[in-house]
Structure 1
Amino acid sequence: MDFSAFRFEKANVNQAQAISDLINLTYRGNAGWTTEAAIIHGDRTNRQEIEAAMQNSSTHFFVVNLPSMLASCIYVAPEKEYAYIGFFSVHPDLQGQGLGKYMLEQAETFASTVMNIHQFVMFVISQRTELIGFYQRRGYHCTGRVEAYPAYLGVPKIAGLTIEYLEKKAMRC
């Protein structure tokens, strides 16, 4: 995929519903390799949660828009010595073409160059080994921190779901 025409840009609050819809489609829809529909029921997020995240002046929501759809989104929030990466989604029709890798690289570059933060943290459902593998191929590693699956992320369809924290330290020049 040629990303030269894509604009990695800051989202605006008017996009909160579209961002929420994209995240729910990505993680709770029936298409794409990132879906969790088989193991979790209910929405992953809502417009109010996205708007609240956007209203914090120290956090950053980024998107890539295509003429016909919101292609991708990612959230970067400073937390002490690291940047938290979350709400990361690529439209199921565009998955597997490198857009996720591109978005993650852009978010990490922003955190490093603009926020001067060189450590990134995120959490992933522990049972999503293919998603953890995606992040490991991009330099993230498991921290050993595992917690019970939080109820606000949807209702588990299987028992014993947990979340695992991953981190990455960027190289400094």
Structure 2
Amino acid sequence: MHLRKGSLHDAARIAALVNSAYRGDSSRHGWTTEADFIDGQRTDTSEIEEILSADNQCILLAERNEEIIGCVHLEKRDANVCYFGMFVVKPELQAQGLGKRLIMEAERFASHRLACTIMQMHVISIRNELIAWYERRGYRRTDERRPFPYGNERFGIPLRDDLEFIVFVKELKVN
């Protein structure tokens, strides 16, 4: 697995990978699917282009044989906080340790390249298996909750009315 920062040239492939891992039948090949409670897309090419064009954001790509097999969105939000999102491993390659490796690299990048001491993420509150996975990697729940973006079809079409995000954080080691 090779890691690199994504470029505008990668935007369509990144959007396709993210959507395949979170939504629709293809996402059911992995354990990170949201297809049972959110329909539609997770992102689109224009959102990915916005992220890749921003000075304070990037998408790290995991590649194997020039195929994008994973990604993670990092956004420096203030002096020491890095937001971590859009974390994806290609569904048929999940549960092989690639996610663990990618999250470690994302944390290292946030610490060393962005000089952040805290990684922050938002996880949909009903994702118990995913929450447990992040907790095993040192992320802890905060008391903070964020509303789900109901009405924003760019993020998807919720199939339930009880969705919200829990904010998680992890302290990073800065060398």
Q: Determine if the TM-score, normalized by the shorter chain, exceeds 0.5.
A: yes
Displacement after TM superposition at 1:149 (Å): 1.2
Give SS of 1:171's match: coil
- 1:21-53 CA distance string (max 9 Å, x none): 111111103321000100111100000000000
Report how many residues are paired: 168
Aligned to 1:133: 132
Q: CA deviation at 1:82?
A: 0.3
For 1:137 and 1:43, the matched residues in 2 are separated by: 29
Query: In structure 2, what is the equivalent of residue 43 of structure 1?
Result: 41
CA distance in 2, matches of 1:150, 1:132: 20
Q: What's 1:52 paired with?
A: 50
Q: Is the 8 A contact 2:115 2:174 kept in 1?
A: no
Cα deviation for residue 111 of structure 1 reads: 1.0
Q: How much has 1:89 moved relative to structure 2?
A: 0.5
Distance 1:100 1:82 in 2: 21
Task: Return the alpha-carbon distance in structure 2 between the equivalents of residues 146 and 132 of structure 1.
Answer: 14
TM-score, structure 2 as length reference: 0.91
Letter in 1 for 2:3: F
- Change in Cα spacing, 1:119 to 1:25, as seen in structure 2 (3 Å) is same
Deviations 1:1-21 (A, max 9, x none): xxxxx2111111111011001
CA distance in 2 between counterparts of 1:157 and 1:138 reads 29
72, 75, 86: which one aligns with 2:73: 75
Q: Deviations over 1:130-155 (max 9, x none)?
A: 11111111100111111221133211
Who is 1:21 aligned against?
16
Q: Residue by residue, what CA displacement relative to the aligned partner does 1:50-89 show, whole Å, maximum 9, x if unpaired?
A: 0000001221211012237320001111111200011110
Amino acid at match of 1:161: L
2:2 counterpart SS class: coil
**Identity within the alignment, %:** 34
Q: CA deviation at 1:172?
A: 4.2
Aligned counterparts of 1:157 and 1:59: Cα–Cα separation in 2: 30
CA distance 1:12–1:135, shift in 2 (3 Å): same
Mean Cα displacement is larger for which, 69-78 or 33-42? 69-78
RMSD between aligned residues: 1.3
Separation (CA, whole Å) in 2 of partners of 1:53 and 1:79? 13
The question of 1:164 aligning with 2:166 is answered yes
Shift of the alpha carbon at 1:167? Answer: 0.5
Q: Distance in 2 between matches of 1:85 and 1:148?
A: 17
Unaligned runs of at least 5 residues, structure 2: none
Separation of aligned partners in 2, 1:65 and 1:73: 9
- Quick one: distance in 1 between partners of 2:56 and 2:132? 30
TM-score calculated relative to the size of structure 1:
0.92
Gaps of 5+ in 1: 1-5
- Secondary structure at 2:32 match in 1: coil
